[in-house]
Structure formats: C-alpha cells, structure tokens
Structure 1
Amino acid sequence: MNIRKITTVTEEILAEGGRRTDPVITVAAVAAVIENPWHGQGFVEDLGSGIDATASELGAVLAPRVMEALGGTLEAYGKAAIVGLSGEIEHGSALIHTLKFGNHFRDAAQASTLLPAVEKRGEAGAVFDIPLKHFTDATIRSHHQTFEWRVADAPHPGEILIALAGSTGGRPQQRLASLSTEQ
C-alpha cells in the first residue's frame, strides 16, 4: 500500500438550533490518500489480490487514529471512499466493503453493527458525505447523521481517498421518536 498523505479533521458541536449542546458532541474523521492498487491495469476481473494487499493494513492505520482524534467514547460511525477519475467506483467499494478493513474500526470501537458507507468517483476536492449510524444498533434514529468533508488535493486520478468517521453522540438536539413508535 502506498499512502501519499493522511488527513484528520475534528469538530466540536457546541450549539444547534439556538441552544447549547449538552454534552458537546465531537466528530472526527481520518482519511488516507492511497495509490489505487488497480490503477493502469485495465479492467481487473478478480480484485482479491488488491484487497488482500491493502484493506486490512488501511483499516489498521485509520481506525486507531479516528478513536484518538475523537477523544471520547464513540457512539456513531461510518466510512467512505472517493476513487480518482481514472479508477472505478468498484475499486473503492472493494477496499471498504470487506471485514478485513471494517473489523479494525469495529474492534477499536467495540461496535457490533455494519459500518454505513458511501463511495463514488470524483476529482480532487470532491465532497464526502460520510453517513454515520449508531455503533451497536443501526435503528437508533438519533444517531443517523452525515459528516461533510473534503480533502482539497485528493484524490488524484490514480488515487483513492478512504475515510473513517466517528461521533461521540447523535445529532445535536434530536427530537425524533423511536422507530418502535411506528411499528
């Protein structure tokens, strides 16, 4: 795996809707800009060797960094990939939709749900909309949220931008009823 750079962003949400948040909610995301392991090879039928060579190591690099940047107990999490214009969306999917990648984050967070994800192809500076959901119960509505972020110079055409994000809470000032009230 060839990493060009790792970028970390942290937000503290102090107020929402004209009211202070209590407690303050922290959201952190870490992204690695990597060389696309399939770049320049044309259509690759079996992506397995690139997954084996990249996904687990990438998860092992990103997961502890998100947990450290979060600085608190994780309650919601998600993942994303943006593939440079010379790659296929499937290249990003191949790296993030494998337990070899995601289990690093699940283990670090002591989580039990699948990580919500988004993947797309884009040029440098394309915006991530990283979906976040509760880390043990994806039906908890208060934690369904999106973290928007971009890395100004990535991905280059032959790169993939892979990110993990986490939050110490749900949406600030959430007021939706539990899903069970509608069943």
Structure 2
Amino acid sequence: MRVRKIVTHVEEVLTEGGRPVDPAARVAVVAAVIENPWAGEGFVDDLNPGIDGTASPLGELLAPRVVEALNADVEAYGKAAIVGLSGEVEHGSALIHTLKFGDHFRRAAEASTLLPAVEKRGPAGIVFDIPMKHKTDATVRSHHQTVEIRIADAPHADEIVVALAASAQGRPQQRLADLSTER
C-alpha cells in the first residue's frame, strides 16, 4: 500500500436552527490518499491480491486515527472510496466492502452494524458526502446523517481516496419520532 497523504477533518456544530447545541455536535473524518493497487493494469478479473495487500492495512491505519480525531465515543459511523478517473468504482468498492477493512473500524468504535458507504469515481477536488448511521442500530433515525468532504488535490487519476467518518452524536437538534412509532 502506497499512501501519498492523510487528511484529517474535524467539525463542531455550535448552533443549529438558531439554537445552541450543547455539547457541540462533533464529527471527524480521516482520509488516506493511496495509489490504486490496480492502476495501469487494464481490466483485472481477480481483485483479491490487491484486496489482500491493501484493505486490512488501510483499515488498521484509518480506524484508530478517526476515533482519536473525534476525541469522544463514536455513536455513528460511515466510510467512502473515491476512485480517480483512470480507475473503476469497483476498485474502491473492493477495498471498503470487505471485513478485512471494516472490522478495524467496528472494533475501534465498538460497533456492530454495517458501515454505510459511498463510492464513486471522480477528478481531484471532487466533493463527496459520507453517510453515517448509528453504530449498533441502523434504524435509529437521529444518527442518519452525512458529512461533506473535499480534498483539493485528490484523487489523482491513478489514486483512491478512502475515508472513515465518525460522529459523537446524532444530528444536531434532531426531532424525528422513533421509527417504531410508524405503522
């Protein structure tokens, strides 16, 4: 795995809807810009060697960093893979949609649900949203949220941006009724 750079983004929402948010709503994202392990190879039938050499080390690198950046207990989480224009969306999916990658974050966050994800292909500087859901109950509406990210110089055509997002709470000022109230 060849990492060009790691980007950490932390935001705190202090007011929402004209009202204070106390404590501040905290969200962290850590993204690694890596060389696409399949770059320059044309169409690759068997992605497993690239997955085996990249997915677990990448999860091991990112999971503790995003938990540390959040500096609070993780309540919601998500992931992303943004593939440069010379790659395939499947290259990003191959890295993040495997237990070799995701289990590192589940353990670090003490989580059990599937990690919501976004994957797409785009040029350097593309804006992408990382969806998040509650770490143990994906039906908890208050924790369905997204965080928007942009890395100005990534991904290059032969790179993939892989990111993890964590939130210390649900949406600020959330007021939706519990899913169980609907019939």
Q: 1:131-142 to 2 correspondence within 5 Å?
A: 131-142=131-142
Deviation at 1:25, TM superposition (A): 1.2
CA RMSD of aligned residues (A): 0.5
- Once the two structures are TM-superposed, the CA of residue 24 in structure 1 deviates from its matched residue by 1.2
Partner residue, 1:47 = 47
1:56 maps to amino acid: S
Which consecutive residues of structure 2, in runs of 5 or more, have no partner in the other structure?
Answer: none
* Residue 40 of structure 1, CA deviation: 0.5
Q: Which residue of 2 aligns with 1:156?
A: 156
Question: What is the CA distance between 1:23 and its match in structure 2?
Answer: 1.9
CA shift digits 1:32-71 (9 cap, x unpaired): 0000000010100110000000000000000000000000
TM-score when normalising by structure 2: 0.99
Structure-2 residue corresponding to 1:33: 33
Q: Residue deviations 1:121-178, cap 9 Å, x none?
A: 0000001200010000000000000100110000000000000000000000000001
Measured in 2, the distance between the counterparts of 1:90 and 1:130 equals 17
Q: Secondary structure at the match of 2:43?
A: coil
- TM-score for both structures, normalised by structure 1: 0.99
2:105 matched to which residue of 1?
A: 105
Task: List, as ranges, runs of 4+ consecutive aligned residues in structure 1 with deviation greater than 4 Å.
Answer: none
One-letter code aligned to 1:39: A
Residue 173 of structure 2 corresponds to 173
Q: Does 1:74 align with 2:74?
A: yes
Give the 3-state SS of the residue equivalent to 1:177 in structure 2.
coil
Identity over aligned residues, as a percent?
A: 74
Tell me the equivalent position of 1:60. Answer: 60
Q: Which residues of structure 1 form unaligned runs of 5+?
A: none
Instruction: Spell out, residue by residue over 1:78-131, the C-alpha distance to the aligned partner (whole angstroms, 9 max, x if none).
Output: 000100000000000000000000000000010010100000000000012000
